[in-house]
Amino acid sequence: MAYSEFFNPELETLSRPQIEALQLQRLQDTVCRCMGSPFYKKRFDSIGLKPSDIRSLEDLRKIPFTTKQDLRDTYPFGIASLPLDKCVRLHSSSGTTGNPTVILHSARDLDQWANAVARCLWMVGCRPEDVFQNSSGYGMFTGGLGFQYGAEKLGMLTVPAAAGNTRRQIKFFTDFGTTVVHAIPSYAARLYEVMTDLGIDPRRDTRLRIFAIGAEPHSEEQRRRIEDMLGVKAYNSFGMSEMCGPGVAFECREQNGMHIWEDYYIVEIVDPDTLEPVPDGTVGELVLTTLNREAMPLLRYRTRDLTRIIPGDCPCGRKHRRLDRMRGRSDDMIILKGVNIFPIQIEQVLMQYPELASDYLITLETAEDNDTMTVEVEMKEQFIDDYALLQNMERNITARLRDEILITPKVCLKPFGSLERSEGKAVRVKDLRKKY
């Protein structure tokens, strides 16, 4: 059967002026809706701002930012714009400090969210004939239900396998003829490890062809590895609970940046210190305004994620702009001896060595009042006994890392399987430094 390239042809093929006209109309509706929110009503009143003051997209900048702290301070329902009896779902993310945050959804919100995820999956070639297995956590983690409803909306046969029980996952791949999988990148690598143990060759023994990978930072090198190991195309998927979950931005088949659906969100990239907008192409903090949510719209939400807009048009024809691969959250940045380092910079270097497996751990410690970094990384099984190779590689990796991050870490190559595996998003950094 011949399908269109687009899941929502009329919205995915809008021109820039059409996108911006739709955004203004939806922004004005959203701001009016926000007056049902005790939090936003008070905030607007306190600075004398009225919904009618928002007459152009530039006027967005009159609205103050919303922060994660605002979500915590108003926990659980203080930002909602609709009464609870109009809401049908709640997702909550547990922060490491303070109150967790809560996001509420109406039935329409859930339907629109499912549509966004379906649009993403369709864009990379998923069709109703596919069998979709969701190997990500369910429950409060939005990658579970978010992908479930999106894949169903697209019309695929969906298998809500959830994360873990890897042998059973693989049995499902072979028994059900799974063709599309959603998993966090660290788990995609694990699936391959266990397949190898079981003597299963993904190319020969499965019908796998597409992986949606996201929810945690990963490098281009990590993606290529997943593709090579599993014989699939792997597409970067970006989302966060505050913006529903998955479906915010997704790579198209070009694999060069993630289209952010601008009929759902207004994107700003700001300098995290001055909060002023930065030009396209410059890295800054991603700030998002929801345009298509009624239970709990968020205005100018500071995501803490650092990325940039990729300048220029995408050959796929969509004019929704592209976000570059996330550098990580500003809170993930390591500051060691005054140098700013993102874990992803270290991963980029490690993943260039074919002898290394995919798991690594960065430990920061204080030794004799001096802060140090140790990078432990697992070797692939066949290389660990070659002592000369190990020594040579440790030296070589140390030098490459020093060039990349400007400090000299201690590199330890470890036997395969010796680093602890986490159930959810991978833990890549342990900070044991003395705090003064």
| Cβ-based nearer residue to ligand AMP, 136 or 206 | 136
66 is a site residue for ligand AMP (CB under 6 A): no
Q: Which does 257 bind (CB under 5 to 8 A by kind): Zn ion, ligand AMP, none?
A: none
Q: Which does 186 bind (CB under 5 to 8 A by kind): ligand AMP, Zn ion, none?
A: none
Element (H, E) at 236: strand 233-238
The CA distances from residue 422 to 57, 120, 187, in Å, are 43, 27, 9
Q: Among residue numbers 89 through 128, which ones bind ligand AMP (CB under 6 A)?
A: 93
C-beta of 116: minimal distance to ligand AMP in Å? 14
C-beta of 310: minimal distance to Zn ion in Å? 10
CB 150 within 8 Å of CB 118: yes
189 is a site residue for ligand AMP (CB under 6 A): no
Residue at 326: amino acid letter: M
- 435 DSSP 8-state letter: P
Residue at 146: amino acid letter: G
DSSP secondary structure, 123-151, as one string = HTT--TTSEEEE-S--TTSHHHHHHHHHH
**With contacts defined by CB under 6 A, how many residues of the chain interact with ligand AMP?**
16
Residue at 310: amino acid letter: I
Sole binder of Zn ion in the list 252, 323, 384, 401 (CB under 5 A): 252
Q: Which residues pair with 376 in a beta bridge?
A: 361, 412
Q: Which does 316 bind (CB under 5 to 8 A by kind): ligand AMP, Zn ion, none?
A: Zn ion
134 is a site residue for ligand AMP (CB under 6 A): no
316 is a site residue for Zn ion (CB under 5 A): yes
Give the Cα separation of 216 and 254 in Å (integer): 21
For residue 405, is it left (φ>0), alpha (ψ between -120 and 50) or beta? Answer: alpha
356 is a site residue for Zn ion (CB under 5 A): no
C-beta of 254: minimal distance to ligand AMP in Å? 16
| Cβ-based nearer residue to ligand AMP, 8 or 93 | 93
136 is a site residue for ligand AMP (CB under 6 A): no
Give the Cα separation of 40 and 79 in Å (integer): 7
- 281 DSSP 8-state letter: T
CB 154 within 8 Å of CB 182: no
238 is a site residue for ligand AMP (CB under 6 A): yes
Point out which residues bind Zn ion (CB under 5 A). Answer: 252, 254, 314, 316
Residues at the interface with ligand AMP (CB under 6 A): 93, 142, 214-217, 236-241, 303, 305, 326, 329
